[in-house]
Structure 1
């Protein structure tokens, strides 16, 4: 399976061209499944999921003009027969994995069976991640939380850290999580974005120091493309590779 890991969707022509190159055909001839699961732990998550699906949000993905688009909600999959959903996933040209909470998403990817299914999907199929959807595709990732994560999505490890932001120091819990292992590097999205003040270049370097793999910090105009293990950054913005 190929991958296109973005910070904020298909934001520019370079990333769109990369997506169609991976698909091997126009988006208008491709069938996609949209996975909104990661957004639900956030206040207003259902509304944000609708905006993402309707194209009312700021991160283009579901509204690109797909030939067909379905919704795959991971949290319901353990309660239904695999025969009802696995063939649909196998037939999809693209899995569009939305942003939100990467620890929550990675947990449901495992519990739903999607993580185990990914390696057996068609080589020409494309995993398209946005923010948490990109983070959760990796083997090991880090994310910051203001409070310890609750429920079944327990991190591999966590530690108290303080990161500087334009508004002053903010206490954060730096959590290390286990992703789907689709790629062997990590991703830090929203580099230097004003709405994500802790994702500064200096903080990204600190986060990357806790990841035992190459780590790509990318802004919203950048994406990481993966074909047969070969990695290429597609960018009209800013990005940086941190080596372990």
Structure 2
């Protein structure tokens, strides 16, 4: 997969340009599936925020970018319909737009649904993550971001990339650079703190920071 891991969606021209580059064609010619699942696992989210994400009625640009087509892929429904039905929907999409919310809950349902197992075969698909939708692809999220308790009780996510992400740098009272430094020390691996004007682009294992804001790399 080609990855665009954001804190708050496609918030500026630089991030939008990175998205178009990953797609290899205009957004208006690209088909998208949005995944709102993470919304249901976080105590500050729920049905209303999931609806706002899907309909593009948030200040976090994702579903409202002018896609050729847009569908909803709810991961909790997939085990009941079988992979032979839903996997073609995923393979036919140019991009997966993955909402924020709770990264551990999202990771759990990616495994339960079978989507996590499908990811390695989606070589031409672009994954655009928003906050938890980005963090779910990292090895760990850190105790600071644990809200939903996973079956194993830990903070491990899917480990598609080898670095962790501290999102919304400077936006919330607790998301200071000092807090990010403490978090990174706990993670004990490569990690990025990124603000809402920053994204991390991953193409064939090559990592590039795309930013019109502030970010910091904490090496391992």
TM-score (norm 1): 0.86
Alignment match, 2:203: 227
Structure 1 contact 22–124 (Cα < 8 Å) conserved? no
Tell me the equivalent position of 2:153: 155
User: Alignment partner for residue 169 of structure 2, among 191, 205, 227?
Assistant: 191
User: Number of residues paired by the alignment?
Assistant: 219
For the pair shown, which has the larger CA radius of gyration, 1 or 2? 1
Give the match for residue 64 of structure 1: 65
User: What TM-score do you get using the length of structure 2 for normalisation?
Assistant: 0.95
Deviation by residue 1:208-237 (Cα, 9 ceiling, x = unmatched): 112242101100000000001000000000
Query: Residues 110 and 11 of structure 1: is their aligned pair in 2 closer, same or farther, counting only changes over 3 Å?
Result: same
> After the TM superposition, which of the residue ranges 40-49 and 201-210 deviates more from structure 2?
40-49
Instruction: Name structure 1 gaps, 5 residues minimum.
Output: 157-176
Higher mean Cα deviation, 104-113 or 218-227?
A: 104-113
Alpha-carbon offset, residue 143 of structure 1: 4.4
More helix by share: 2
1:28-67 alignment, distance < 5 Å: 28-41=28-41, 42-43=43-44, 45-67=46-68
Q: Does residue 100 of the first structure (1) align with residue 78 of the second (2)?
A: no
Task: Tell which has more relative contact order, 1 or 2 (C-alpha 8 A, sep 6+).
Answer: 2
Asked if the contact 1:191/1:200 (under 8 Å) is kept, the reply is: yes
Measure, in 2, the Cα distance between the counterparts of 1:191 and 1:43: 18
Secondary structure of the corresponding residue to residue 85 of structure 1: helix
Instruction: Give the deviation of 1:184 after TM superposition.
Output: 1.2
Unaligned runs of 5+ in 2: none
Query: In 2, Cα distance between the equivalents of 1:232 and 1:29?
Result: 25
Per-residue deviation, residues 57-94 of structure 1 (Å, max 9, x unmatched): 11000010011111011111111111110011111111
8 A Cα contact 2:7 2:131, kept in partner = yes
Query: Do 1:103 and 1:153's aligned partners in 2 also have CA atoms closer than 8 Å?
Result: no
Match of 2:160 in 1: 182
Q: Deviations over 1:136-195 (max 9, x none)?
A: 01122214268x744x54432xxxxxxxxxxxxxxxxxxxx22222211111100011xx
Matches of residues 106-185 of structure 1 in structure 2 within 5 Å?
106-121=107-122, 123-144=123-144, 149-150=148-149, 152-156=150-154, 177-185=155-163
Deviation >4 Å, runs of 4+: none
| In 1: Cα distance, 2:44 partner to 2:177 partner | 27
Distance apart, 1:44 and its partner CA: 5.0
